Amino acid sequence: MNALNPVVDPARRTRRDRSTATAYALLAPSLVGFAVFLVLPIAAVFALSLFEWNLLTDPEFVGLRNYRDLAEDERALKSIGNTFYYVLLNIPIQTVLALLLALVLNSKIKGRNVFRVIYVLPWMAMPVALGVIWRWVFDPVNGGLNRFLDLFGVDGASWLNDTAWAMPVVASVNVWQYTGYTMLFFLAGLQAIPAELYEAADVDGASRTHRFFAITLPLLRPAMLFVLVTSVIGSFQVFDTIHVMTAGGPAGSTATLNYQIYLESFTQRSAGYGSMLAVVLFAVIAAITLLQVLLFRKRTVYDFS
């Protein structure tokens, strides 16, 4: 047999072809769904961003005009700033609280399984329903929070009608809802860290703070990457809570980019311009996600072999 031209067993080739065909057949439903419900809509949005369309008449090709108009659109630019403000309010607090909860619930405390369930319950609720409840809580006249403050002689703020308070209040609701869910991923990461590492650190006389920064935090990089990527993407796409609690007000102070896309596309009936904003949002999320992956791609591994 020539080593450069090996003879392939026909029976083996047939079995391999059948296995390949079976694999593609099993993957076909998912691939079709991926193409129809993800790839094609994304491509359609990119294409529509080059048109002007009011949802009633035929689309008119305008090229990059929508993108050029963005530079002079104060409302859209303000919504981009509001979005980054919301993310900066939400992500650091949510991440730190989730990590602290995970550290506490990873220790040997009574009823920790019950607390894990309790902290995850807000995530299971519908954002619209929670928005209605929290809108009542922060209502300046009949809201539960201001009524509670009245008991101590404190005048509550006009939370959702004040441009200084509205966005922090909306962000706090999101923190309350998703901290427990985020905590689960940190908890899984903590439980994957080998106990021998902590035992070795105890033998060396390492303090609890030193163990956290030398062992826990470095080995939580994979969990931290997942948490930050998913949380940032979710924060940039916030809509339900804002729509129910503030409708983008007051004075547009809580109108995020995703909410502005909704206003342009369906309220102003400018689907082309709204698609352009969606492309901008997609580009921002992709860039930040890539940056996070690059920052957290290095993993820390302790090998005792």
Handedness of CA 87, 92, 97, 99 (dihedral sign): positive
Do 36 and 88 lie in one domain? The reply is: no
Which amino acid type is present at position 44? A
Do 43 and 126 lie in one domain? The reply is: no
Do 133 and 259 lie in one domain? The reply is: yes
Stated pTM of the model = 0.87
The pLDDT assigned to 37 comes to: 87
Tell me if 60 is assigned to some domain: no
CA end-to-end distance (rounded Å), the chain:
44
Phi–psi pair at 146, nearest 5 degrees: -70, -30
- Structural domain containing residue 157: 70-296
Do 161 and 17 lie in one domain? The reply is: no
Do 27 and 83 lie in one domain? The reply is: no
Do 113 and 16 lie in one domain? The reply is: no
Number of domains the chain is built from: 2
Q: Are the beta carbons of 196 and 304 closer than 8 angstroms?
A: yes
Flag whether pLDDT at 13 surpasses 90: no
Do 140 and 218 lie in one domain? The reply is: yes
pLDDT tens, position by position, 216-257:
898 999 999 999 999 999 999 999 999 999 999 999 999 999
CB 159: neighbour CB atoms within 10 A? 24
Do 105 and 31 lie in one domain? The reply is: no
Tell me if 255 is assigned to some domain: yes
For residue 154, the domain's CATH number is 1.10.3720.10
Tell me if 220 is assigned to some domain: yes
Instruction: Tell me the C-alpha to C-alpha distance, in Å, between residue 92 and each of 8, 106, 256.
Output: 58, 21, 18
Which amino acid type is present at position 247? A
Residue from 137, 167, 151 nearest 250 by CA: 167
Residue from 54, 183, 51 nearest 121 by CA: 183
Do 166 and 22 lie in one domain? The reply is: no
Do 26 and 95 lie in one domain? The reply is: no
The pLDDT assigned to 8 comes to: 53
